Structure 1
Amino acid sequence: MVNEELLVFSARDLSPRYEAFSEDDDEHGNPIFLYSSFGYITDEYIAYFGRSNIRKCDLNQKDIRESLKRLPDEDVYPKAPPNITVVSTPIDDDNLFLKRPKLHLDFLGTGLLPKLMLQEAETMELLRRHPHPHIVRYHGCLIKRGRIVSLVLDRLPDTLQHRLEKSAQHFNVENCIRKLTSAVYHLHSLGLAHNDLTPLNIMVNKYDDPVIIDYGSCQPFGSTLITAGTPGWIDEDFTISAEQHDRSALDKIQRWLEERSKVQRQTR
């Protein structure tokens, strides 16, 4: 049973929330629901994870509290290296974003979650020493119990995808692609490939300038990847870091932006 002090009131308090479905459809052609899974991290960065045979939209407080089980720190958070940049609390939530590990059933008990977080922290430390205006600014790590529990990054208004979904009118596609390309080439000059460029991994600031985020798959060329690519934004599945993945994604993003802008003009 979950600790009674946990402030979990509804499914809205859970993050992330997933649903799994069978590969086969039912007799009416609808996907067959298998289970929902969900994570919860307390204010003290104690991680919990749960699984239920109830759809996530139907979960109530009792279902959630009975399903959540505490995860050992060593299954979620890496030990903080001595040379890591440390950010002190309290955190300015209005201007800073805390990136926590994504609790997922596939990773639990594998040792991959701490490894992923440490790899991303090390990548961000390198980028902190070699900054670029269109790569998200990293301030350091939040440390609890001797472990990295969160990366501290600039908070930005919106993703590129949500910005274009709201309105593509007056959005400067050429400016966006030029600045994205500059940021990607900066990564490549450091021997890194992002490996997961999508409109959801690009933010826009108040001037509509793009800022690349999410460096969980960013690794030196030739490195084996734990996670990589997003369906629809890659040519094929891959497990090795390479410049070509970013070039291909940039081409797809440019076509997507141009199509969005074209549709917007036609509907005016």
Structure 2
Amino acid sequence: MDYETSDGSQVSLREIFEDRNGRPVFKAASISAFVDGKAFAGKAEHRIKELDDVSIVDYLKPVPTENIHPLFPPNFTLAPSFDLAEHYLKAPAFTYEDCKPGRTFVADCLLNEATALEKLSQHPHPNIVEYFGCIVKDGRITQLCLKRYFCSLADYAEHRVPDSQREKIFHDVSSAAKHLHSLGLAHNDISPENVCIDSQGNAAIIDFDSCLPVGQRLMKGTAVDGLPLLSDPNNDIERLGKLRDFLADLKYDEDDVTSGPVDGASEDSLLQHNISQTY
């Protein structure tokens, strides 16, 4: 469960389970938060539904800076003044376990995302999240300043989506993936949660902490048959196929007479046509 307060503070709650005789048993709730730009984490032996904003504060302790905030490279972009109505300040996602002494996985992921966005800012694309630079404190990256979008595709899908809009979303995401691949990069984590929709209905890929040059070992993911997972355009192509199926299964607006398939083609075949045309 993730949410943002009116003052820009970000809170993340995750329930941790352990296996007992083949069945999951609740162990604790991991709590992480950014308040006034400072990171806190804690662990509660209560279910999330039993916690409120007041009780959450009692469990929080400051997080060591080096665990989640990487050093700011001097050649990276420093974010200008921002407006929370137009800009989203992405803070690193972490759990209580990530904050133990010596662990820098979260900081490494944030630096990797900033590195990818720096490169993409030199080769912009309308369907890739707009990046304005890094928020820096005491020489370390605390947040990434990004364009604020209307909602994620996962949330957007809760409403009726016309055929024409589903087709446009798929085209937008496919175009962005093709652009990444032309730069020698792969996103490696395309999903409805990592696609956002703006107020004009345009789609954009977000969340670039798994984006790496093709062939590099992924920082996230589980090895298969003992072999590490690698950054690969095929990861994106596979995810695009799943996204196509996700869009095809969405509810549609029966009153949208202008949004039907083109030239009598079925919706599924139209989506399939686009992915084959892109690759």
Distance in 2 separating the partners of 1:66 and 1:179 = 44
Q: What CA deviation, in whole Å up to 9, does each residue of 1:222-254 have, x standing for no partner? A: 11112249xxxxxxx972111111001101111
Shift of 1:191: 0.7
1:18 lines up with 2:14 in the alignment = yes
Shift of residue 61, structure 1, vs aligned partner: 6.0
Aligned-pair distance for 1:126?
0.2
Quickly say closer, same or farther: Cα 1:17–1:238, change in 2 above 3 A: farther
1-side partners of 2:57 and 2:196: how far apart? 34
CA distance in 2, matches of 1:139, 1:94: 14
1:123 to 105, 116, 121: 116
| Match of residue 241 from structure 2 | 251
Deviations 1:13-50 (A, max 9, x none): 76211001233489xx8x4211001012221x221110
Q: Deviations over 1:48-106 (max 9, x none)?
A: 110011112212567434421111111110111111100134x2000000000112134
With over 3 angstroms needed to count, the CA separation of the structure-2 counterparts of 1:184 and 1:114, relative to structure 1, is same
Cα 1:53–1:96 shift into 2, 3 Å:
same
Count of aligned residue pairs for this structure pair: 243
Gaps (5+ residues) in structure 2?
256-279
Q: 1:67 to 1:258 in 2, by over 3 A?
A: same
Q: Does 1:108 align with 2:99?
A: yes
Equivalent-residue separation in structure 2 for 1:24 and 1:166 (angstroms):
39
SS at structure 2 position matched to 1:16: strand
Q: Does 1:193 align with 2:186?
A: yes
CA RMSD in angstroms, aligned pairs only: 2.6
* Residue 88 (structure 2) aligns with: 97
- 8 Å Cα contact 1:79/1:146 also seen in 2: yes
How many Å separate the matches in 2 of 1:261 and 1:238?
Answer: 38
Aligned to 1:75: 67
Q: TM-score, normalised by structure 1?
A: 0.83
Taking the TM superposition and a 5 Å limit, the aligned residue runs for 1:28-177 are: 31-43=24-36, 45-60=37-52, 63-89=55-81, 91-109=82-100, 110-169=103-162, 171-177=164-170
Structure 1 range deviating more: 65-74 or 116-125: 65-74
AA partner of residue 75 (structure 1): N
The residue that corresponds to 1:233 in the other structure is none
State the TM-score, normalized to the length of structure 2. 0.80
Q: Is the contact between residue 195 and residue 241 of structure 1 (CA under 8 Å) also seen in structure 2?
A: yes
Structure 1: state its 5+ residue gaps: 1-8, 230-236
After the TM superposition, list the runs of 4 or more consecutive aligned residues in structure 1 that deviate by more than 6 angstroms: none
Which residue in 2 is equivalent to 1:4? none
